[in-house]
Amino acid sequence: MAGFWGKRKREEQELAAQDADLAKRAGSALVAADERVRVTADELAFAEAELGQGATAELRVALGSVREHLGEAFRLNQLNFDHVPDTAEELRTRNARIVQLCEWAEDVLDERTAALADQIARARRAPEIIAGVQADVTRLRARVPQARDTVGRLAARYSSDALAQVAANAGEAEQLLGFAEHGVGVAERRRDAGQREQANLALEAATESVRRATALLDAVESFEVEALKAESTLAAIIEDSRGDLVAASDAPQTREVVAAASELKAALAALPAAGVNTDPFTHLTSLRTANTALDAAIATARARAGRPIPLLEHVHHAIDDADRQLAVARNVITGHRGWIGADARTRLAEAERVRFDLDQFLGTAAATVAGIDEEHREQAMLMARRAATLAAEALQLAQRDIDSSRPQGGPGQWGGPGDWGGGRRSGSSDVLGGILGGLVIGSVLDGFFD
């Protein structure tokens, strides 16, 4: 008994220590949250001065919500120290709620102030950013004449279709640089007038214009290099394509090979004569596509030539065999529904599904199809043999179920002198022989048991 009371006293002491620590945490959290609200209010005032009220709306709403919930936390804290005595459980619940509210307030304010941190940093660096934009405009404007000269030089070598993506880049870049200068001027005037939000928007627009102008001028310079690379690659593709046409003449002349070779010849014939402005990118794409298609067709034809193509008679024989196997298995299973288990019925359903897929594959009834393309014969034979195998397995499973369900021995039971077999029959081979002998057994069994 002494041990029980000692253990209980220790538990009460530990719980009291935890309550004291929770109360201390609640008081510290209230002080920290109150200070954070005061600091955030100062940051909000500074952010509104730098960014305007539109950019700081979310922080303002969040600060109002935090103040409302912290008011609840302060009211709970007052209840802990009023004249009304509280139980330990009540104190514990209030302090936990205070800690929860204060932590939530800290998280909300952290999230909202972090979202404004980058904008405030840019606003503080506005004079530096303005100077950078002006320097970039001056530097890029010096590149505009070079871009015009490059486009003119390229126009003497490449077609207008090839130059369509960069022909107007110099003019567009010059317009963007003019817009950037205008945006910088607007930003400076609005900033001097105290309209910080509008000044920041104008500065962001100017910065984006400089970025787009840089991309346009860079595209002109990179186009010249990419066009040279495309011409070099095109020459190699032309040589490779001519070699592939020679190889295609030695490959099996299947329909795919002949069609792919014709497309490649047409692509080669479409190449412009020497001295004519070209579009190397378009020609390279068309030649590469035709060359790849011919390679694939040759590889397929050679792989097919390495495999013997089944004779049409053999395919028809496989289809007929599958239909016979399915007919036997279907008649046995449907004629002995009470005896056949799920395995045999499932195997028959699989066989019928494969047989149906064979008709879909050939596009007509396989049993009456007159001709089958050489490229389809192998697959058709495989599907027919698969259907026949599944049907044979279904018949074997059905025979097993029949044998296991048939009573064995004894007068008046199956196997007696007066039974359908003229004597006792045991073993699956006897029943299977009767099934294959005109399916008479199935009909007799139906009539007997019905």
Q: Is 173 exposed, middle or buried (0-12, 13-18, 19+ CB in 10 A)?
A: buried
**Selection from 120, 127, 134 nearest residue 188 by Cα:** 127
Average pLDDT over residues 238-267: 85
Could you tell me which of 173, 114, 186, 185 has the C-alpha nearest to residue 147?
A: 173
| Domain ranges (residues) in the chain | 2-124, 233-305, 312-449
pLDDT digits (tens, 9 = 90+) for 29-58: 888 888 888 888 877 777 776 666 666 777
What are the pLDDT digits (tens) for 355-397?
999 989 888 888 888 888 777 888 898 999 999 999 999 999 9
Q: From the CB of residue 71, how many other CB atoms can be counted at a distance below 10 Å?
A: 11
Average pLDDT of 103-124? Answer: 77
pLDDT in tens, 226-238: 888 888 888 888 8
Higher pLDDT, 51 or 100: 100
pLDDT above 80 (res 208): yes
Residue 4 in this model has a pLDDT that exceeds 70: no
pLDDT of residue 354: 94
